Amino acid sequence: MSVAIIGAGAFGTALAVSLASKGPVTLWGRDTGWAAARENPRLPGVALPPALHVTGRLDQIAAETVLLALPAQVLGGFLAEHGARFDRRNLVSCAKGIDLATLTGPSALIAAACPHATVAVLTGPSFAADIARGLPTALTLACADAGAAEALQRQLSTATLRLYRTTDMAGAELGGALKNIIAIAAGAAIGAGYGDSARASIVTRGFAEMLRLATALGARPETLPGLSGLGDLVLTCTSEQSRNFRYGLALGAGRDFAAGTTVEGAATARAVTRLAERLGIEMPISNLVAGLAQGSIAMEHALDFLLNRPLKEE
């Protein structure tokens, strides 16, 4: 089975580099002016291997398995324009977010645009730079069809990228989307100088929020403590390699943050606030992050927002 990747950002490029160790891979990007230099400025210091073909032409994407590594908020627009050409293939979502326009995850967007495709999700704790450098990484491959999950697991594992499989698409996808919100909150706590104890509370209570919403949306509870949920939550809340964490640091410290950086948790927090309201689920950390990201809550009121709530059982 041949592989192609849509989206030549940091993650798409890193996956392409890793998969090119096993055979030819095609990577499609919107802007490919950098391709002749064999180095993507979104992934500096990584030489693209000869087996990796970069193209700006979608008609060159003939692979049976296509990984969609676009940010969650642009995926819907891309699929509306180009989805039809990818139907009847294996389509693997690599985005970690919830679409604000539809309040659904990337896999539902793909399934709606490509009703005859086999849809899967690739997620878990992994920084693009780590994957591209061949550092050992473990991810989750989720597909509702157990046979397809096994085939994709084999196809997309490499010598340094170890994939575990599950049929719980909702659980895997929601874990990856929701952890970004909590990472912003953890970063804000550190940026504001609230300390490591505060961060530990946010990670733990944030995980409780993730579990509450994900199970209400059909996830299996046992999926959330896995790589795609807890694993990625720990990574993203503790490393300055994470853009969501760094964005939170800037919010907490009252500093500007580089415009144009992909920070999935900001829009996803707004989507989650709406979903939680609809479902009648309490999500205080997500609501706070949505408010901070939109500017409707000021950082100096963040503590009041979380601490001045009625005391409750854990």
Ligand X SMILES: NC(=O)C1=CN([C@@H]2O[C@H](COP(=O)(O)OP(=O)(O)OC[C@H]3O[C@@H](n4cnc5c(N)ncnc54)[C@H](O)[C@@H]3O)[C@@H](O)[C@H]2O)C=CC1
Q: Name the binder of 203 from ligand X, ligand 13P, none, CB < 5-8 A by kind.
A: none
Residue pair 217/104 in contact (Cβ under 8 Å)? The answer is no
Residue pair 23/51 in contact (Cβ under 8 Å)? The answer is yes
Sole binder of ligand 13P in the list 28, 86, 127, 207 (CB under 6 A): 127
Each residue 131-170 as x (binds ligand 13P by CB under 6 A) or -, in order, gives ----------------------------------------
Active site residue 22: no
Nearer to ligand X, 33 or 193 (CB): 33
Residue 242 is a binding residue for ligand 13P (CB under 6 A): yes
192-229: string of b/e by CB count within 10 Å (b at 16+)?
bebeeebbeebbebbbebbbbbbbebebeeebbebbbb
Residue 243 is a binding residue for ligand 13P (CB under 6 A): yes
Q: At what angle do helices 196-216 and 284-294 cross, to 10 degrees?
A: 110
Residue 125 is a binding residue for ligand 13P (CB under 6 A): yes
Residue pair 65/2 in contact (Cβ under 8 Å)? The answer is yes
Residue pair 149/119 in contact (Cβ under 8 Å)? The answer is no
Each residue 126-165 as x (binds ligand X by CB under 6 A) or -, in order, gives xxx-------------------------------------
Q: Give the nearest residue (CB) to ligand X.
A: 9
Residue 28 is a binding residue for ligand X (CB under 6 A): no
Q: Which of 190, 287, 180 is nearest to 236 (CA)?
A: 180
Strand, helix or coil at 271? helix
Size of the site for ligand 13P (CB under 6 A): 13
Q: What angle do CA 224, 180, 86 make, to 5 degrees?
A: 85
Size of the site for ligand X (CB under 6 A): 26
245 assigned to a ligand binding site: no
Q: How far is the CB of 95 from ligand X (least distance, A)?
A: 4
Which residues participate in catalysis according to the annotation? 179
